[in-house]
């Protein structure tokens, strides 16, 4: 019988905690695209409670998740998206070095355009991994 730790993981999501207290502010992580993750492409995601917005927590958490994906898990490409009206989330992606991709429509809500960004392993400097 296989233990859960023996199975390949498809998702890596972690809690974002406030440094001075053990208070959970949100989460950040990624999941591999495709069922097996063999393409080594993933989708980054992050969520923070509104009272913790504009404090740098999302950028720090997203950067750490990208470091994990590229540095330890051999990701080739990571993508993230947000509603194009969410300028704060777009700034998080920019600060993480993600480049804008052509406009896509959201599968969740085709009426709302998504803003898609990506970063490739070759664009991450060796000091960043």
Cβ neighbours for 15, distance < 8 A, ≥ 6 positions apart: 24, 26, 27
Q: What is the per-residue pLDDT across 56-65, written as a single tens digit (0 to 9) for each?
A: 999 999 999 9
> HEC string of 28-88?
EEEEECCCCCCCCEEEEEEEECHHHCCCCHHHHHHHHHHHHHHHHCCCCEEEEEEECCCHH
Per-residue pLDDT at 46: 96
Q: What is the per-residue pLDDT across 21-45, written as a single tens digit (0 to 9) for each?
A: 889 999 999 999 876 557 789 999 9
Per-residue pLDDT at 129: 41
The domain 10-123 is classified under which CATH number: 3.40.50.720, 3.90.600.10, 3.40.630.30, 3.40.220.10? 3.40.630.30
Q: Return the domain boundaries, the chain.
A: 10-123
């Amino acid at each position: 019988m296989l233990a859960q730790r023996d199975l390949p993981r498809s998702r890596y999501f972690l809690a974002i905690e406030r440094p001075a207290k053990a208070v959970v502010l949100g989460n950040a992580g990624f999941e591999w695209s495709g069922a097996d993750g063999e393409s080594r492409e993933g989708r980054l995601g992050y969520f923070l409670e509104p009272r913790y917005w504009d404090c740098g927590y999302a950028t720090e958490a997203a950067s750490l998740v990208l470091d994990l994906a590229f540095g330890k898990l051999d990701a080739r490409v990571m993508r993230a998206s947000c509603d194009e009206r969410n300028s704060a989330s777009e700034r998080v992606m920019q600060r993480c070095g993600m480049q804008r991709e052509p406009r896509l429509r959201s599968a969740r809500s085709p009426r709302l355009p998504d803003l898609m960004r990506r970063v490739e392993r070759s664009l991450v400097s060796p000091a960043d991994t």
